[in-house]
Structure 1
Amino acid sequence: MKFTVLDYSIFALLLVLSSAIGLFYALSGDRQRTVQEFLLANRNMGCLPVALSLLATFQSAVAILGVPSEIYRFGTEYWFLGCSYFLGLLIPAHVFIPIFYRLRVTSTYEYLELRFNKTVRIFGTITFIFQMVIYMGVVLYAPALALNAVTGFDLWSAVLTMGLVCTLYTTLGGLKAVIWTDVFQTLVMVAGQLAVIVVGAGRVGGMAHVWHLAEREGKISGIDLDPDPFQRHTFWTLAVGGIFMMLSLYGVNQAQVQRYLSARSEREAKLSCYAVFPCQQLVLCLSCLTGLVMFVYDRQHPLAPNQHPGSHDQLVLYFVMDVLRDLPGMPGLFVACLFSGCLSTISSAFNSLATVTMEDLVRPHCPGLSESRATMLSKLLALGYGLLCLGMAYVSSMLGPVLQAAISIFGMVGGPLLGLFCLGMFFPCANPTGAVAGLLAGLAMAFWVGIGGLLQAMGGTGGPPPSNSTLLPLTGNHTTTLATTLLASTAAPLSGLQRFYSLSYLWYSAHNSTTVIVVGLVVSLLTGPTPPHTVDPRTISPLLPRLLCCLPPKYRQRLCPGGQDPPQDTDHSDAAVKPKGGVPNGLAPSGHEEEEEAGEGQGYIRTVGAPAYALQETSF
């Protein structure tokens, strides 16, 4: 199972084209000379490229390897995760996008300062940076390790090449290059998976035969309506628990929100969210069909004893190299598909990390920073995070069995951040003290259950994972898993904390976000809730008045600042921004005198005598 010259050529072509896109956007348009262009693509993207970029951001290589392996081992029950996609994308479109887009934020965590204070913003930012820095090295190293074990593809050549190419086009081309390379890489991912399915199904007698044999072998799962949250996969776990996992990714994650904010209007941002739904279903179907074809092919063409994979992570690659061995260039296409997932994920990580670092940690302390210097610093941050990714990949190579814990961190942190934003948007009484206490409690709960589950999965010895585990997450396009969920159900009944640690990973976002909300509300009430008149109505969900419509007016007024729904859909493109002395629609409360502090290419609106939330950044 070795690569040919043609395979290497196809793989190299992927790298060249990805780099070319970055160079094109570095030398065209405004040449990434402003922060708006570099970090937000000038807020001028259409819904289709944004939708494909949203899809590609978390459709990582570990998912391309992990989902077919899940179907091969446990059957098609995982397919029901698709039921969570509808609400998991509809809710962000109507709850989170309107708030973020109308506030004209660049970093998601700017919202936290507008709603609470700067301390909450910093806590949120640091939590996100920790999450993504740990994650991006693993997502680059893990598939390269599996590829090296199966094909002999040089491990560190793959890691260094992918990391450097990704750093190159992200640093040069900014978000616009990231989005368009995501579009190209999504097409490569679909082409690679389709090629494997078509060739594999053709060699075992067609897709009808694949389905019939899989059904006879018990791999076509029925609907399991068991409501037990400690069961690894049931219909309710996948369809309902999966919604919260989707919300943590598509609702509040900076990498995704940044794409919404790059759309040319709020309507385009919402349409991009709608467009992701069929794309997600297609990708899930391709991954599941790959697993079924792999299962049937293995029954008819078993591997030689010396070819059996050392771990379940390598199942897909052994299958691909065997089924495509007589077709020159096709293994190279699948490897291009695999590393397209890597490129799309880590480039999004670089860009989002550069954005939050610039907007949340640098700008507040350097208010006089000129536009040209801010843009250059943003590029240097993207470059720095790219090099840090390579360092994290090296660290990942030394983690051994702790690699599962590193992957799990991504999922552990997503739920508490979701809870923090929901606390701010749906509970006007929540105060900054409650927000910080809730976030810390949510993170503590996440790591307590997560690490406890990991140690239980390892038998409490800290040794290597059991033989039926995997180093790659099995959550579709969401690499947010915990080691305890990678195990099949055990025959021995669990009790006490052991049972608590066996909570399905798909309930983790729901569990941890609920912890944040409950603790945050309790602490807020004990320390003095936020007075309704001090809450900026723009930071509260526009759906809240409708949710409280059955309450008497006096209670509704107390629980919902503003008393009425905000505008449903307004155009917040740059054309809507008044060039002198004006503000974008809905940004500053009326009835106050405004003064403008303008720098080089950048303006600030300060409302004299207004609450602190009236200080915002906008582009002139």
Structure 2
Amino acid sequence: MDTLDIVVFLIYIVGIAIFGSTFFKKTKTSSSYTLGNKDIPQWVITMSIFATFVSSISYLALPGNAFQSNWNAFVFSLSLPIASLIASRFFVPLYRKVNSPSAYTFMEQRFGTWARIYVSFCYLLTQLMRIGTILYLLGLTLNAIAGWDITTIIVLTGLVVAVYSMLGGISAVLWTDAIQGIILIVGAIVCLGFILFSMPEGPFQMFEIAMDNRKFGLGSFELDLSKPTFWVVLIYGIVVNLQNYGVDQNYVQRYMASKTDKDAKRSALMGGLLYVPISALFLFIGTALFAYYESVATLPTELQGANMGDRVFPYFIVNVLPSGMSGLLIASIFAAGMSTISTSFNSSATVFLTDYYNKYYKKTATNEQRMRVLYIASSVISIIGILIAIAMINVKSALDAWWKLASIFSGGMLGLFLLAIFSRHKNTVGAILGVISGLAVILWLSLSNILLGPNALGNQFHTYLTIVFGTGIIFLVGFLISLCGKENNTK
């Protein structure tokens, strides 16, 4: 990194931190800290939902996947319109009616205290793994570009985000997300344009090379559940994105921060749809990088092995992009990651306050006590996330690692939400047995290879299907027992 790149990057980091901190005066109460003051424009919430979904996982790992293989990961994006439409139609009105800062109050209303604890605990575990993965990728990027120590980068980045998200609350998170979303889109477009017009025979040469190497393929269409085929990724995407847009506190908090029900529905729908073309843009960058290194330059030997796709884009940024543009791309990558991390800090602290502290420790806490809990919870979560990121330094493929970890730690919580919404009967025993059955399936699919070896029955299914089967089992078992049980009180 030369002086201009460092200046551009530091201007972004310092500017975002200062801007986010300016909202401190608007977050004097726990309500304004977690839900804002109902004065956030719809476009800001829409961009915030988009920026929350996009992270350094998308910005680095999607180009890495496209460079290494094809556009199979885009199938995941194709499921988003389905998930965001269902969320805006069913989930958003539900949460606005319940009117709670926590997405998981509804679970207690339907099935009791245990359900609220289960889904909120699953959420917190998932967020910790998400924070760790994103911080790791940010550290990996700056390490490849500037040679700085990955651990130092992870720690400093985590602390910077923690400070401005704590000072400014949800208002700071939403506004900085919106700005970061714009920055990351501009950075990606500029980078792709540079690659295309750097091809010796012009932009169309990239398409020729990509077509010759089948880089635009969406994966195999065969009915093989042991591989990441088109159908496996599509089903996985529908379930995961329904979980994101339907039951994830990160998104529910944005629905609740919207001025009106109509604004909340629009933001949920448009925030999801915006990701589809942007994810295609990220994949396009990976494909263009493949064509570039096939025709213009050669990657060093250490980047030519398998599972090195995550490192190609950072290498290109530092070695090929002109001065100043490299700084913009680094800022874009950090924008993608920091927006998601700040969201996780604020939402996780909100869950801890609402679902644990207020519920079981001090129901009549003063505003000062609630604010203190929010600050402490955010601090603890940031520290744990940083430690997880440091532990992930040796993971080879960040995208695959995140998808696998998300399947395990989310615990099929979507199944319980679907049961609560679509079942006409309130059967607590059925719901509990459904969760136990779903968790048993998740653990079996996750651990069968370790316990029984590669020929175990669970290894016949791809890891992406773990959350699919877990969700399905929870819903089906709970629904069937509810139909047959005696506790058939309707909603």
Q: Same fold (TM over 0.5)?
A: yes
Shift of 1:256: 1.0
User: Equivalents in 2 of 1:219, 1:430: separation in Å?
Assistant: 49
> Which position in structure 2 is the counterpart of 1:443?
439
User: Equivalents in 2 of 1:101, 1:17: separation in Å?
Assistant: 34
> Which position in structure 2 is the counterpart of 1:112?
107
Shift of 1:496: 6.0
Q: Which runs of 5+ in 2 are unaligned?
A: none
Please state whether the residue corresponding to 2:49 is helix, strand or coil: helix
- Change over 3 Å in CA distance of 1:392–1:523 after alignment to 2: same
> Which position in structure 2 is the counterpart of 1:381?
377
> Which position in structure 1 is the counterpart of 2:277?
282
Shift of 1:350: 0.7
Contact preservation (8 Å) 1:32, 1:38: yes
- Change over 3 Å in CA distance of 1:273–1:66 after alignment to 2: same
Whether 1:497 aligns to 2:457 is yes
Shift of 1:525: 5.2
Shift of 1:252: 0.6
Shift of 1:24: 1.3
User: Equivalents in 2 of 1:406, 1:220: separation in Å?
Assistant: 23
> Which position in structure 2 is the counterpart of 1:313?
310
- Change over 3 Å in CA distance of 1:368–1:444 after alignment to 2: same
Shift of 1:143: 3.6
Please state whether the residue corresponding to 1:232 is helix, strand or coil: coil
Whether 1:139 aligns to 2:98 is no
User: Equivalents in 1 of 2:37, 2:437: separation in Å?
Assistant: 38
Of 60, 66, 69 in structure 2, the residue corresponding to residue 65 of structure 1 is 60
Contact preservation (8 Å) 1:249, 1:414: no
Greater Cα shift, 312-321 or 420-429 = 312-321
- Change over 3 Å in CA distance of 1:399–1:218 after alignment to 2: closer
Of 152, 172, 176 in structure 1, the residue corresponding to residue 167 of structure 2 is 172
1:232-311 aligned at under 5 Å gives the runs: 232-234=228-230, 236-300=231-295, 301-305=297-301, 308=304, 311=308
Shift of 1:75: 2.0
Please state whether the residue corresponding to 1:251 is helix, strand or coil: helix
Greater Cα shift, 339-348 or 372-381 = 372-381
Of 101, 110, 118 in structure 2, the residue corresponding to residue 123 of structure 1 is 118
Contact preservation (8 Å) 1:396, 1:403: no
Whether 1:418 aligns to 2:414 is yes
Q: Deviations over 1:245-272 (max 9, x none)?
A: 2101111111111111110111000010
Of 136, 157, 162 in structure 1, the residue corresponding to residue 157 of structure 2 is 162
- Change over 3 Å in CA distance of 1:322–1:109 after alignment to 2: same
User: Equivalents in 2 of 1:404, 1:77: separation in Å?
Assistant: 12
Q: Which amino acid aligns with 1:531?
A: N
Please state whether the residue corresponding to 1:256 is helix, strand or coil: helix
Of 444, 451, 472 in structure 2, the residue corresponding to residue 514 of structure 1 is 472
Q: Which amino acid aligns with 2:166?
A: T
Contact preservation (8 Å) 1:65, 1:313: yes
Contact preservation (8 Å) 2:71, 2:219: no
- Change over 3 Å in CA distance of 1:19–1:135 after alignment to 2: same
Contact preservation (8 Å) 2:444, 2:458: no
> Which position in structure 2 is the counterpart of 1:10?
8
Q: Deviations over 1:188-245 (max 9, x none)?
A: 21122112211111111433221122112222327854344333122x3344442222
Contact preservation (8 Å) 1:430, 1:521: no
Whether 1:370 aligns to 2:366 is yes
- Change over 3 Å in CA distance of 1:207–1:102 after alignment to 2: farther
Please state whether the residue corresponding to 1:203 is helix, strand or coil: coil
Q: Deviations over 1:586-612 (max 9, x none)?
A: xxxxxxxxxxxxxxxxxxxxxxxxxxx
Please state whether the residue corresponding to 2:197 is helix, strand or coil: helix
Q: Which runs of 5+ in 1 are unaligned?
A: 461-493, 536-620
> Which position in structure 2 is the counterpart of 1:353?
348
Q: Which amino acid aligns with 1:519?
A: V
RMSD value over aligned CA atoms? 2.7
Q: Which amino acid aligns with 2:136?
A: Y
Contact preservation (8 Å) 2:132, 2:386: yes
Contact preservation (8 Å) 1:190, 1:283: yes
User: Equivalents in 2 of 1:149, 1:434: separation in Å?
Assistant: 51
Shift of 1:353: 0.8
Contact preservation (8 Å) 1:411, 1:509: yes
Whether 1:74 aligns to 2:74 is no
User: Equivalents in 2 of 1:98, 1:421: separation in Å?
Assistant: 14
- Change over 3 Å in CA distance of 1:74–1:270 after alignment to 2: same
User: Equivalents in 2 of 1:415, 1:118: separation in Å?
Assistant: 17
Whether 1:528 aligns to 2:486 is yes
User: Equivalents in 1 of 2:372, 2:219: separation in Å?
Assistant: 54
Shift of 1:66: 1.2
User: Equivalents in 2 of 1:352, 1:57: separation in Å?
Assistant: 11
Q: Deviations over 1:462-503 (max 9, x none)?
A: xxxxxxxxxxxxxxxxxxxxxxxxxxxxxxxx9761652x32
> Which position in structure 2 is the counterpart of 1:24?
22
Of 327, 332, 341 in structure 1, the residue corresponding to residue 336 of structure 2 is 341
Q: Which amino acid aligns with 2:173?
A: V
Shift of 1:149: 4.3
Q: Which has the higher helix share?
A: 2
- Identity across matched positions, percent: 25
TM-score (norm 2): 0.91
> Which position in structure 2 is the counterpart of 1:46?
41
- Change over 3 Å in CA distance of 1:146–1:449 after alignment to 2: farther
Greater Cα shift, 122-131 or 89-98 = 122-131
Q: Deviations over 1:323-370 (max 9, x none)?
A: 31xx11222222212222221111111111111110010112312212
> Which position in structure 2 is the counterpart of 1:591?
none
- Change over 3 Å in CA distance of 1:306–1:374 after alignment to 2: closer
Please state whether the residue corresponding to 1:42 is helix, strand or coil: coil
TM-score (norm 1): 0.73
User: Equivalents in 2 of 1:406, 1:137: separation in Å?
Assistant: 10
Shift of 1:529: 2.9
User: Equivalents in 2 of 1:404, 1:111: separation in Å?
Assistant: 32
- Change over 3 Å in CA distance of 1:5–1:156 after alignment to 2: farther
- Change over 3 Å in CA distance of 1:390–1:499 after alignment to 2: closer
Please state whether the residue corresponding to 1:410 is helix, strand or coil: helix
Shift of 1:114: 1.1
Contact preservation (8 Å) 1:138, 1:407: no
Q: Which amino acid aligns with 1:382?
A: S
